[in-house]
Structures are given as C-alpha cells and as structure tokens.
Amino acid sequence: MAAKSQTAYLCGACGAEHRQWQGRCSACGEWNSLSRLRLAAALPAAGLGGEAAVVRKLSEVHTEAADRLPTGFAELDRVLGGGLVPGAVVLIGGDPGAGKSTLLLQVCAAVATQHPALYVTGEESLEQLALRSARLGLAAAPLEAVAETRAEVIAGLIEQRRPRLVVLDSVQVMQLESVEGTPGSVGQVRETAAYFTRLAKAGGVVVVLVGHVTKEGNLAGPKVLEHMIDCFLMLDSPAGSRYRTLRGFKNRFGAVNELGVFAMTGRGMREVVNPSAIFLQRGDLEAPGSVATVIWEGTRPILVEIQALVNPVQGGHSSRVAVGLDQQRLAMHLAVLQRHCGVQLGDQDVFANVVGGLRIAETGADLALLLAVLSSFRNRPLPKHLIVFGELGLTGEVRPVPNGQERLREARKHGFKAAIIPYANRPPQVIEGMAVHGVKGLGAALDAVASL
Ligand code: TYD
Ligand code: MG
C-alpha cells in the first residue's frame, strides 16, 4: 500500500480535505473551519484485511433484497424504502431529546427477536439503558448492549458476536485510537464513520449511527458523512408537540420524500399510521389569517393549517417572516399579490406559519398561503370548512398539483365542505357535500372567496 499523507486538514463545514492549513476553506468559503487530522501509520483494516479485489458478473452477485430487516415500525420501514438493507450505514440525526435513542432501542429490540442485534451506547451507562428499556417494556427482548466508545473494541465485539444490526449512540462520542483529536471533532467523526462503513460493507451488518445535529448543522455531522453513508434521516420534534417526524434526506435504497410520523408517549415512540389530520387542530372560532390546506407527503395527504399575520410596519423596514415555509416563495407571492390584485403590502409586516411545526417543501400550499395573507390583511376570516390548494405562477395563474383527487377526498373525509383548487384538478364527478371551485387564476380564486 502506498504511503498516505500523514496529516490532513478537514473542513468542519463541508468536509473537504486539504493538504495545508488555510484560514478559509477553499472548497466552501467558510472561515476558520479547518482542523487537523492526523492518521497513524496504518489505519485498522476493519475486517477487510488484505483480501484481493474480486471482479464478478453483477447478475451472479447474490442480492439480498428480500433480506431487508424490518424495524418493527412500518413508518420507519417506509422512510427507509422497505426496511434496513444488510451492509447499509444509516445516520439518524436530530436535536437532543428528539427521541433518537428511544426509537433505536425499540428498533433493536424488535430486530433482536429475529436476529442478533447490538446496541452500543457511549452516552449512557448500561444501568440507565436497562432502566429505559424496562420502562419501554422491552426488558424481555433478547437485546444485547454495551457501554463503549472505543471503535476498535466495538469492531472486536462485532467480529465476535456477529450481530445483524449495530446501533452506535452516538457517532459524536466514538473514538478511533489511531486518529488524533477528541471525540466529536470533524476528524474523529469522519474516520470513525468511515471505519464502521468499511465494517458494515465487509460484514453485511447494518450500522445505524446516531448523530446530534443542530438545526444550523454546525456539529460535525451529515455534511462530513454525506458521501459515505447510505441513508440520512432526520428526526424532528416540533416545539411543544409530542409528535415526531422522520424524513429521509438521502437514501440509496429508496425514495427520499417519505415522511414518517411518530408520537412520543410514556412508553416510548409509537407510530402514527394515519397522520393526515393530526396537525390540524382548530377551534370553532373563525379567525382572519387562517386557511387549511392539504399537502402531499411522499405517498399520502396531510391536512395542515397555514396562518398569516399582516400588521402595519412600526417604523423601519417591513419584515417578511415565514416559519415552515419558504421565505422566498412568500416574497414572491406578495409580489404577485401586488401586481395581479393591486394589493400593496410594502408598508406591512407579513408573518406566515405552518401550525404544528411541520415544514412544507412543496408548492401546493401556495394558494392557501396567499389567501391567508389576504384574509389577515383584510381582517376577514375564511370559513372553517374551506380547504385550499394549488400552485401559484408569477403571472397569477393557479397551476395544478399532483394527486388532486386524493387531496380532495381526504379533505372531504375530514368534514371540509368547500374547496378552492386549480381548475385542472377539478374532480370528474360532483363530490357530494362539497362545493368545489376550480380556478384558473388568482382573480377567479378571489371571486370564489367572495362567493363563499
Ligand atoms: P431520547 O430518546 O433520549 O432522545 P435523544 O436520544 O434524541 O436525545 O428521548 C428523550 C426524551 O424523550 C426525554 O425528554 C424523555 C422522553 N421520553 C418519553 O417521553 N417517553 C419515554 O418512554 C422515553 C424513554 C423518553
Ligand atoms: Mg440519546
């Protein structure tokens, strides 16, 4: 093996590797983000040894599609694209307290009923883990655990016990002796993850890495690991809510647009199999600035309430703040509103929010957002039983969205009696008990609102 450069400098922001220290990362432009990574003469081979590379016909390579491990949670399996793939490395990120350890302990226990599974905790003692496991009602599961942070020792345990699933909680506390740097440093995180990735591939074992990732992403996390891991999932805990959402950001074995929903209960994480209306908890009062919409998340519709507040500016510049929505789309909508409806909001602060802490990434909520803004500005509430969806174009046209019929059906199921939707999404047949207004443009949408 050719001698490798012994010292490298890693950027904590983008993970780029440099030969020399620089004040500013030339790859991503971040200042002061480089830290030194020193490797020992020979990196441990993680079970790969000196095996020769083998070239084989792909058709003859045994694929283990059928061998995916179910996690015990249909919601998690769906986000993963059908369970855990042998040899895969999965990173689960989330704020402290989101429920990562709880969820993974439950997953380990479920897998352990079929296959050997190992839970490695570097953050809690075994006693604490046992207490938690008892509280979760998992005491009877044949689950094995160890409190350990030394990567080489963990590799030895994996070699010896041959588990099918290993959870490392968390990657930020794991340490490779042969790498300089404290646990959690960019170098340590990157090298431990690389070490366990080699181990996963060589042994066909699923490795789940837990990562504490702040919203700003300033902990060594997905950016550094992005290239080596197979799946990156984020567990989000909307403030004040007992619901948790799990979303895939990278998945080599499935789609990334699936949303899994869980509830944190007194006995751990429970999956919410039909989450369509959990984010929609509205009182009976009709208030200006509130509009319900149906978004499409992966394979299912979810009803959410969008709220807007429009207030005269109190000196200085006007603010435009969007929470759970794209700030730039909000600015765009305000421009459309001005141009096509003559509504001037230059001297108004505009705030928009998705109730329940959900983040909307699709454009189907455009029309609802705009009507919420208008409703607040005019101080006129819209009826509670109204559902609105549709994408808005810069020319003021209302464009169709995918899965229009399913969205309408879901809204009807939850008692909505009127809908303002894109013309092209009109249902082929009359929906009993629901007045559907199909509109081609913003003007028609406002007429429909006035006619309610
Ligand atoms: P935890 O899984 O430790 O979060 P993470 O590993 O992501 O930091 O979950 C911590 C929170 O969950 C904590 O506030 C207590 C709560 N919790 C429950 O509500 N019910 C339970 O059964 C458990 C184990 C934890
Ligand atoms: Mg934890």
**DSSP letter, residue 348:** E
- Which residues in 302-328 are b (16+ Cβ under 10 Å) and which e? bbbbbbbbbeeeeeeeeebebebbbee
pLDDT in tens, 346-366: 999 999 999 888 889 899 999
**Average pLDDT rounded to a whole number, residues 272-283:** 80
Which structure tokens are listed for 49?
A: 């040894």
Q: Report the DSSP beta bridge partners of residue 320.
A: 350
Q: Supply the pLDDT for residue 39.
A: 64
Q: Supply the pLDDT for residue 3.
A: 44
Q: Which ligand is nearest to the CA of 265?
A: 1
- The tokens 């700003």 sit on which residue? 216
Which structure tokens are listed for 190?
A: 């990157």
Q: Which amino acid is at 269?
A: M
Which residues neighbour 128 within 8 Å (Cβ) at sequence distance 6 or greater?
none
Ligand 1 atom showing the smallest separation from residue 242 Cα: 19
Report CA(145)–ligand 1 centroid distance (Å): 18
Q: Kindly tell me the burial class for residue 365, based on how many C-beta atoms sit within 10 Å of its own C-beta (0-12, 13-18, 19 or more).
A: buried
Which carries the bigger pLDDT value, residue 385 or residue 224?
A: 385
**DSSP letter, residue 301:** E
Which structure tokens are listed for 167?
A: 């959870």
Report CA(99)–ligand 2 centroid distance (Å): 7
Spatial contact of 80 and 246, defined as CB atoms under 8 Å apart:
no
CA distance 21 to 86: 38
Report CA(214)–ligand 2 centroid distance (Å): 14
**DSSP letter, residue 442:** H
Ligand 1 atom showing the smallest separation from residue 264 Cα: 19
CA distance 423 to 419: 11
Spatial contact of 211 and 172, defined as CB atoms under 8 Å apart:
yes
Residue 292's closest CA among 363, 351, 240, 369?
369
Q: Is residue 436 within a helix (H) or strand (E), and if so which, with residue range?
A: strand 435-439
Which structure tokens are listed for 381?
A: 């509430």
Ligand 1 atom showing the smallest separation from residue 96 Cα: 8
Report CA(125)–ligand 2 centroid distance (Å): 12
The sheet carrying 144-147 orders its strands as 144-147, 117-121, 165-169, 206-212, 89-94, 231-236, 243-251, 259-265, 268-271
- The tokens 């081979």 sit on which residue? 45
For a pocket test of ligand 1, which of 264, 267, 270 has the largest count of ligand atoms closer than 8 A to its C-beta? 264
| Max CA distance (Å), the chain | 77
Q: Is residue 194 within a helix (H) or strand (E), and if so which, with residue range?
A: helix 186-203
**Average pLDDT rounded to a whole number, residues 256-274:** 90
DSSP symbols for 153-194: HHHHHHHHH--SEEEEE-TTT-B-TTB-S-TTSHHHHHHHHH
Q: Supply the pLDDT for residue 316.
A: 86
Which structure tokens are listed for 94?
A: 């989330």
pLDDT in tens, 278-334: 788 777 778 999 999 999 988 889 999 999 999 999 888 999 999 999 999 999 999
Residue 207's closest CA among 261, 246, 154?
154
Q: Which ligand is nearest to the CA of 172?
A: 2
pLDDT in tens, 189-240: 889 999 999 999 999 999 999 998 765 554 555 567 878 899 999 998 877 7
Report CA(139)–ligand 1 centroid distance (Å): 17
The sheet carrying 34-38 orders its strands as 17-18, 7-11, 34-38
CA distance 86 to 294: 36
Q: Is residue 209 within a helix (H) or strand (E), and if so which, with residue range?
A: strand 206-212
Q: Is the CB of 137 under 6 A from ligand 1?
A: no
Report CA(99)–ligand 1 centroid distance (Å): 5
Q: Supply the pLDDT for residue 288.
A: 95
DSSP symbols for 89-155: EEEEEE-TTSSHHHHHHHHHHHHHTTS-EEEEESSS-HHHHHHHHHHTT-TTS--EEEE--BHHHHH
> Mean pLDDT lowest for which of 69-73, 340-344, 435-439?
340-344
Ligand 1 atom showing the smallest separation from residue 268 Cα: 22
Q: How confident is the model at residue 2 (pLDDT cuts 50, 70, 90)?
A: very low
Q: Supply the pLDDT for residue 217.
A: 52
Q: How confident is the model at residue 66 (pLDDT cuts 50, 70, 90)?
A: low
Residue 142: pLDDT over 50: yes
CA distance 241 to 260: 15
For a pocket test of ligand 1, which of 91, 100, 102 has the largest count of ligand atoms closer than 8 A to its C-beta? 102
Q: Supply the pLDDT for residue 221.
A: 53
